[in-house]
Structure 1
Amino acid sequence: MNESQRVYLVDDDEAIRRSASFMLRTSGYAVTTFGTGIEFLEAVDELEPGCVLLDVRMPEISGLEVQQVLRDRGIAHPVVVMTGHGDVTVAVQAMKAGAVDFIEKPFDKAVLLEAIEDGFTRIAQAGSSMARREEAQARLRVLTPRETDVLEGLVRGHPNKTIAYDLGISPRTVEVHRANLMQKLEVASLSEALRVAFAAGLGSD
């Protein structure tokens, strides 16, 4: 844990904001607090990546509604929801909508920190996945447009003859392009080539 790990605490209860932010700051996190979901949503586009600690029951806009807005905007901050009054049903809704975890008020320090750490684990995994995607995309950039066409056909599971027909070239030419793309990608098998293609997002549509 260090100051580069940011937590955005969204709760209309000032006492909760004070106590939870104190727990988190003394554990090494950088904490920014917001008194309403609207206040948070107005600022979120400018915020650095971090974990959101989000109360469910708030006036004007609920935590679940805030969570939905984040999803609609494509904002991927991991969310930990805080619930009270035994709101298990609401917590399940939040989890189905992508929340990392939920904690029930009043919560102790260990429970809070474990939930936040799960959020930062998700950020790390997302960063690793993005790095793999970028690396794979860079590898594909060495291919010619026609070699990319052939690889896309392979991704769709088409045999050489079908790829040849679709591209208006001979099966022999497809074989040549296939051999060339495998050499450029530095792979020894079709499965390896497909792994690179899938990692790059080819065929994800």
Structure 2
Amino acid sequence: MARFKCEKAIRYGAIADAFALSRAAGVGQRGDVTGPCGHIHLILPDPVERAACFRVLTAGPARVVRSFASADDWFAAGDDDSCAVLLLRWEQPGAVSGAALLAHAAARDGIAAFVAAERLSIAESRAILLSGARDLLPAPLDPRLVRRTIDGALADHAAWQVACERQRAAAARLAALTPRERDILEGIAAGLGNKAIAQRLDLSPRTVEVHRANIMRRAGAGHVAELLHLRFVAEQARVAPGNRVRFGA
């Protein structure tokens, strides 16, 4: 048994110092506490695997990494609001299963969930991906693959945050429009001229011209192309990065 543990530690590049290893694998252990892209949460029952992934993810750019021994511990911590990337083992000890954990993560905007599992059938893999997993990773986990995969997920998350902020800013600029001005904006977006919009809304062309000028002023748009771009961005759904249906990164 001792030989097996030693070989396993070497395989994952674990630190020989037992204190350092247990500290890195500790439940709720944090990495650096700065970084704008959200937290990384590891829910990995195996302490050696958890320590190896924790270590490789906290090396380099400042980021928050939290590790947990089970889904039960993760729910008990109540820190899912900060989570941007979740890496979990499909086989979970305790009352909360991997399926229940994935369902919870999939219901939250902005959480990219990665599932590590062994010996899954094609049907099981497909079901996990359709349940909301961003990707499947082969287990036992290779820390280098974990690092590459999560780095990509964090980059996607940062881009998603920027897109959300642009959407909010565009929506705020158009929020001051009156219902009539919104009707006219829809006509402009449909490619209609002032006369066609006037006929559609039973207005005079001059009234449409006045409303159109007010729309440009309220939206802070310098030209029609900018106005239409604002409308497009404001109406975009703020959808978190989607699944990549593939095995491995």
- Give TM-score, length-normalised by structure 2: 0.64
Task: Tell me the residue number matched to 1:108.
Answer: 142
Counterpart AA for 2:40: V
C-alpha displacement at 1:111, in angstroms? 0.7
Give, in whole Å, the separation in 1 of the partners of 2:189 and 2:73: 45
8 A contact 2:40–2:85 mirrored in 1: yes
Aligned pairs (5 A) from 1:142-181: 142-152=176-186, 154=188, 160-161=197-198, 163-165=200-202, 169-170=203-204, 172-181=206-215
Counterpart AA for 1:62: S
C-alpha displacement at 1:3, in angstroms? 4.5
1:68 counterpart = 2:113: no
User: 1:46/1:203 Cα in 2 relative to 1: closer, same or farther (>3 Å)?
Assistant: closer
Task: Tell me the residue number matched to 1:16.
Answer: 49
Counterpart AA for 2:105: L
1:92 counterpart = 2:129: no
C-alpha displacement at 1:145, in angstroms? 4.7
1:119 counterpart = 2:156: no
Task: Tell me the residue number matched to 1:26.
Answer: 59
Counterpart AA for 1:4: T
- 2:67 aligns to what SS in structure 1? strand
Task: Tell me the residue number matched to 2:234.
Answer: 200
Give, in whole Å, the separation in 1 of the partners of 2:86 and 2:208: 50
Give, in whole Å, the separation in 1 of the partners of 2:161 and 2:168: 11
* Deviation by residue 1:61-106 (Cα, 9 ceiling, x = unmatched): 333332222233x342221221212455444333334433321112
Number of residue-to-residue matches in the alignment: 199
Which structure would you say has the larger Rg? 2
- 2:223 aligns to what SS in structure 1? coil
* Deviation by residue 1:27-72 (Cα, 9 ceiling, x = unmatched): 4543212222233234445642431111112243333332222233
Counterpart AA for 1:70: A
C-alpha displacement at 1:156, in angstroms? 7.2
Greater alpha carbon shift after TM alignment, 110-119 vs 56-65: 56-65
- Unaligned 5+ segments in structure 2 are 1-31, 239-249
- Unaligned 5+ segments in structure 1 are none
Task: Tell me the residue number matched to 1:4.
Answer: 34
1:35 counterpart = 2:72: no
8 A contact 1:155–1:203 mirrored in 2: no
Counterpart AA for 1:17: R
Q: Percent of pairs identical after alignment?
A: 26
CA RMSD of aligned residues (A): 3.3
User: 1:111/1:46 Cα in 2 relative to 1: closer, same or farther (>3 Å)?
Assistant: closer
Q: Which has the higher contact order (CA 8 A, sep 6+)?
A: 2
- Give TM-score, length-normalised by structure 1: 0.76
